[in-house]
A and B are shown apart, each in its own frame.
Chain A
Amino acid sequence: MADRNPAPDTPELRERWGAFEFTESYRERADKAIARYPEGRQRSAVMPLLDLAQRQVGEQTNTQGWLPLPVIEYVADYLDMPVIRVLEVASFYFMYNMKPVGKYHVQVCGTTPCMLRGSDGLFETCKKRGMSKGHVSDDGLWTLTEVECMGNCATAPMVQINDDNYEDLTPERLDAILDELAAGNQPKTGTQIEGKRTSEPEGGPTTLKDMVGANHDYRGEW
């Protein structure tokens, strides 16, 4: 499981992030998130604000972004809430990175369905490129994390990289995706099987075939 302790509170950390502030565009989005909740309930917007803060940190460091303690304190201050409550939220959800990550945060699902469909091979592929779990690769490009079920079992195995899912993977397909990313291109997201659109069965439907053309009422046949 990932290390959820915040990065140590060092003078260097304070110096680097102590002056963190939302930029104009992020502030606009933050205020919009706060406005969704009734007056005085601004605390409810803590999750979107942490996400925005992480994204801004990501832009500023050319990574996926993470949450240094001064940034968590800034969000607490912005929402006028105790900082321990913000830290509780930030440390609870795995989408908030508590430690610096690379430009691409490769989250490989290792839960049973993905494992049965070959997620071990995906880890091998990643490791061959110099990734290791919980660490930023030397070129600053990758961070590998093993995660639990992401809800894409029908298209297992899957990998989430930053905001996108890549499904129906094989080591070769993952390699191609990582190559594209390293080259600075945006690979096709979702399923990686030619001709498949989403999570439908490969090679056409195997059940409810009469439904393909038109709506068919099966009830009389039960």
Chain B
Amino acid sequence: MPKVTVDGQEIDAPDGATVLQACELAGKEIPRFCYHERLSIAGNCRMCLVEVKPGPPKPQASCALPATEGQEIRTDTPMVKTAREGVMEFLLINHPLDCPICDQGGECDLQDQSVAYGRGGSRYEENKRAVTEKYMGPLIKTVMTRCIHCTRCVRFSEEIAGVDEIGAVGRGEDMQITTYLEQAAEHELSANVIDLCPVGALTSRPYAFEARPWELKKTLSIDVSDAIGANIRLDSRGREVMRALPRINDDVNEEWISDKARYQVDGLSRRRLDKVFMRTKGGLKPATWDEAFKAIAKAKPGKDIAAIAGDMVDCETMFAAKSLLKASGSSLLEGRQTGMDYDVSNLAAVNFNSTLAGIETADAILIVGSHIRWEAPLVNVRIRKAVKRGAKVFVIGAFWDTTYPAVFLGDELSSLGELPEAVGEIFSSAERPAIIMGGAALAHGALGAGLAFAEQFNLVREGWNGFNVLHFSAARMGGLMLGFAQKGGMKDIVTAKPKVVISLGADEMDFEPFADALKVYVGHHGDKGAHAADIILPGASYAEKDGTYVNTEGRVQFAEKAVFAPGDAREDWTILRALADALGVSVVFNSFAELQAAMIAEVPALGEEGLADFGAMPKASAKARAEGTISAYPIKDFYLTNAIARASAVMQQCSAELLGGGELAEAAE
């Protein structure tokens, strides 16, 4: 703990801290462009100059200078002020004065810092440098003349994303940031470089010239494109969500979000269900709410009513449906649309128990049947960090490009029970061993074998639980907590032959077996579910309603309503409330607050933000064996996994351009 003095104020800097961090601890603002907390230190922008004694009598770059005992740091001397002005003047020499037509305007580090730390005007009268634009794919727009060579994007792609795509070619004044031969950046997190870029060199291509930051209403929300529950901020103007940006949450998404989370929002205003539709001879025809409710009541479902939850619904919607069914005397609830039937009697066995932040500290990881880069790109970032710390990673399943060294043990699930000796030894001697079971493993019924593996290698120990299940549906954990699971999965629902099936935005389910039932689709996009439905009741997407979501590690998080749903669409719970009246049953809520209170009364964990406690792990059956071959993963096209993304023009373009029309996973990479 070196003791340093910052502007006369004595503070204890943590071991290994830099002078810049010490200054921040003392509450001093240090301007910077290249320094970023989550990236390696480059020290090339020179904006963070401070005066340090003892040391040479000149300003020093504080980001790259370790804080040591007895340092006297000044951030307020004339020398520091003129040094910053000098650096800023140099940076601006080749930076165009095109702020009025630059998308970064209003949220630009260079703009802000030149106001705060620059000198009033420029003394430069020569020609400025001009750089040709570089193509970086459908998401990243480049205006490279604005680049100040901070190399944050280069470091991000190398260190965080793990794909060396972006580089700095040439040197000195001729240095240019580019991808090799201007190929598109092909990574699920590529658009994060837009946030990292301190100037307007890398901006968002789909969002180009759409809005200014000060025109936007900012709403705190939760991403539903995968089960990570990344914390996002929805920026909206009027009735339209303009963009999604990550919020910082070190426990969940750090500072990143996947490209799908960021760019599927344009799908929120396309292919929307904004009217009630009813199927008559000759197809779906617009109808009124009354007609629709009457038609449902006419089916007289009684207790023969089922509800299937989609992948993106919030807990409140699911609980409203559950209350409706309960009042009707039915418990035909299911959320695992594709027919998975793993045991959910103990939710600790289907949870990501290490926690997302915890998996970073694992030292041996076995991935079973999960294409993590596509199922949860942010988890892959965490595992990459673990590998950097020395973790060994093994994968059972078909090959995918991991971005870190990993040993593929073949695609036979049976090898879970009979690991090669060397691998077994690594797990026996590991201090924090972990297993990650993906969707493909669950679909093959390997959960029991996974639990047996956990017991064999003692994955659950003091202060560490290494048993993880990685879901990729945002609604999954919430649904399981609310009992949206039958013992036999969807098969049980089919066997029960319900007269009315309510699909809560369930698009991936098979409607074929329900040919005789009245299929009611409560959802927001005209996707697969709506095509199969008899009655369509337009609902709200995640951006258009308050809601509770539980991510794959059992973290309960609240999202807020950013905009109103289009047309006749209503928030889902109001539709279900009205449906209860139509069916002549009574439910316990009349307002959203009452609904939430009833839900929390039933499942108290949903009322508390943070990790839910699922209790102890179940005993594994020693006989559990896994069979089968994982030759493919459930996600065939990263960019088109849900109804919103499928409606999004940007995601479609990504799919076509980056994945070549969504061929097989192997072909795509």
Contacts and interface: CB of A to CB of B under 8 A. Distances in A.
B164 A87 contact: no
Given A9-B181, A69-B181, A84 B174 contact: no
A92 B171 contact: yes
B655 interface: no
A92 B179 contact: no
Contacts of B163: 82
A87 B163 CA distance: 15
B553 interface: no
Contact of A88 (B169, B174, B181): B169
A39 to B, nearest CB: 14
Interface string B159-174: 0000111111111001
Interface in B520-566: none
B180 interface: yes
Tell which of B163, B164, B174, B180 has the most Cβ of chain A within 10 Å.
B180
A132 interface: no
Contacts of A88: 167-169
A91 interface: yes
Given A9-B181, A69-B181, A84 B167 contact: yes
Contacts of A92: 170-171
Interface string B204-219: 0000000000000000
Interface string A71-90: 00000000001111101100
Contact of A91 (B165, B166, B171, B179): B171
A81 B167 CA distance: 13
A91 B168 CA distance: 9
Contacts of B169: 4, 87-88, 91
Query: Which residue, of A1, A81, A87, A88, has the highest number of chain B Cβ atoms within 10 A?
Result: A88
Nearest to B163: A82
Nearest to B169: A91
B180 A83 contact: yes
Contacts of A87: 167, 169, 180
Interface string B119-140: 0000000000000000000000
A100 B181 CA distance: 19
Contacts of B174: 1, 4
Interface in A153-210: none
A137 B179 CA distance: 33
Interface string B139-175: 0000000000000000000000001111111110010
A84 B171 contact: no
A85 B170 contact: no
Nearest to B168: A88
A92 B169 CA distance: 7
A82 B164 contact: yes
A84 B170 contact: no
A168 B369 CA distance: 71
A81 B164 CA distance: 9
Nearest to B165: A84
Nearest to A3: B174
A214 B483 CA distance: 98
B208 to A, nearest CB: 25
Contacts of B167: 84-85, 87-88
A84 B165 CA distance: 7
Contacts of A4: 169-171, 174
A9 B165 CA distance: 18
Contacts of B180: 82-84, 87
Interface in B82-140: none
Contacts of B171: 4, 91-92
A1 B166 CA distance: 24
A87 B170 CA distance: 9
Contacts of A69: 181
B402 to A, nearest CB: 15
B164 A85 contact: yes
Nearest to B182: A9
Contacts of A9: 181
A138 B280 CA distance: 80
B178 to A, nearest CB: 8
Interface in A92-115: 92
A189 B319 CA distance: 88
A82 B165 CA distance: 8
A71 B179 CA distance: 18
B593 to A, nearest CB: 54
Nearest to B181: A9
A91 B170 CA distance: 5
Interface string A1-34: 1001100010000000000000000000000000
Interface string B9-46: 00000000000000000000000000000000000000
A143 B360 CA distance: 54
A29 to B, nearest CB: 26
Contacts of A83: 180
A126 B168 CA distance: 34
Contacts of A91: 169-171
A121 to B, nearest CB: 28
Nearest to B132: A5
Nearest to A82: B164
A128 to B, nearest CB: 30
A83 B181 CA distance: 10
A4 B169 CA distance: 9
A81 B171 CA distance: 21
A186 B180 CA distance: 40
Nearest to A2: B174
Contacts of A84: 164-167, 179-180
- Which of B163, B164, B169, B174 neighbours the largest number of chain A CB atoms within 10 Å of its CB? B169
A4 B163 CA distance: 24
A91 B167 CA distance: 11
Determine which residue in B163, B166, B168, B170 has the highest number of CB atoms from chain A within 10 A of its CB, and name it: B170
A81 B163 CA distance: 11
A85 B170 CA distance: 12
Interface in A46-69: 69
A81 B174 CA distance: 24
Given A5-B170, A85-B167, A91-B169, 8 more contacts: A1-B174, A4-B169, A82-B164, A84-B166, A84-B179, A87-B180, A88-B169, A91-B171
Interface of B: 163-171, 174, 179-181
30 contacts: A1-B174, A4-B169, A4-B170, A4-B171, A4-B174, A5-B170, A9-B181, A69-B181, A81-B164, A82-B163, A82-B164, A82-B165, A83-B180, A84-B164, A84-B165, A84-B166, A84-B167, A84-B179, A84-B180, A85-B164, A85-B167, A87-B167, A87-B180, A88-B168, A88-B169, A91-B169, A91-B170, A91-B171, A92-B170, A92-B171
The 7 closest A-B pairs by CB, nearest first: A82-B164, A84-B167, A84-B180, A91-B169, A4-B170, A88-B167, A92-B171
